[in-house]
Amino acid sequence: MDFVVRKMREEDIAQVAKIEAMTFTEPWSEQSFLSELKNPQATILVSEANGEIAGFADMREICGECYINNIAILPQYRKMGMGTALMEGLQNACTENAEFITLEVRESNSVAISLYKKLGYVKVGVRRDFYREPTENASLMTKLLK
């Protein structure tokens, strides 16, 4: 499967918001993605395959700290390397001042946790009852960049 990872454009917002709504119980709106796209601290990448947006990843860098907000891939495009490519793209977008990159993940999301571990992230904490519908703890995972 051939795909390309690139920066999100305004015309991608509807497709990205649709993937978000299919993936998360408290999804961001199209307006939220538009605001994020205009945020100079944010990086939003998309993976494109067969002429459609197949996945996306969003991160903010603040004072040398990179925070991954969301990453999602349509079910039919999973296990094809897009998650790895998006995560590596975010890491490559971190400035040279960035000291670490971090994220939260549902404790039950073993597939994502496995990917993050493979990419060098380690569990550094737990956020109790972080997620709703259903209520679940989040594992806080971080990768040092320096």
The reported pLDDT for the residue numbered 137 is 97
Domain covering 4-144, topology: Aminopeptidase (3.40.630)
Using 50, 70 and 90 to split pLDDT, how confident is the model at 130?
A: very high
104 is catalytic: yes
Rounded to whole angstroms, the Cα distance separating 115 from 142 reads 13
Using 50, 70 and 90 to split pLDDT, how confident is the model at 146?
A: confident
**What is the token pair recorded at 140?**
């806080």
Going from N- to C-terminal start, the domains of the chain cover: 4-144
The reported pLDDT for the residue numbered 68 is 98
Mean pLDDT of the chain: 96
Using 50, 70 and 90 to split pLDDT, how confident is the model at 37?
A: very high
Q: Is residue 54's pLDDT more than 80?
A: yes
Q: Is residue 1's pLDDT more than 80?
A: no
Rounded to whole angstroms, the Cα distance separating 60 from 69 reads 7
77 is catalytic: no
Q: Are 44 and 32 in contact (CB under 8 A)?
A: no
Taking only the tens place, the pLDDT of each residue in 68-119 is: 999 999 999 999 999 999 999 999 999 999 999 999 999 999 999 999 999 9
Rounded to whole angstroms, the Cα distance separating 132 from 48 reads 30
The reported pLDDT for the residue numbered 106 is 96
Q: Among the options 48, 77, 104, 121, which is catalytic?
A: 104
SS3 per residue for the chain:
CCCEEEECCHHHHHHHHHHHHHHCCCCCCHHHHHHHHHCCCEEEEEEEECCEEEEEEEEEEECCEEEEEEEEECHHHCCCCHHHHHHHHHHHHCCCCCCEEEEEEECCCHHHHHHHHHCCCEEEEEEEEEECCCCEEEEEEEEECC
Global confidence as pTM: 0.94
Q: Among the options 116, 131, 133, 136, which is catalytic?
A: 116
Rounded to whole angstroms, the Cα distance separating 63 from 66 reads 8
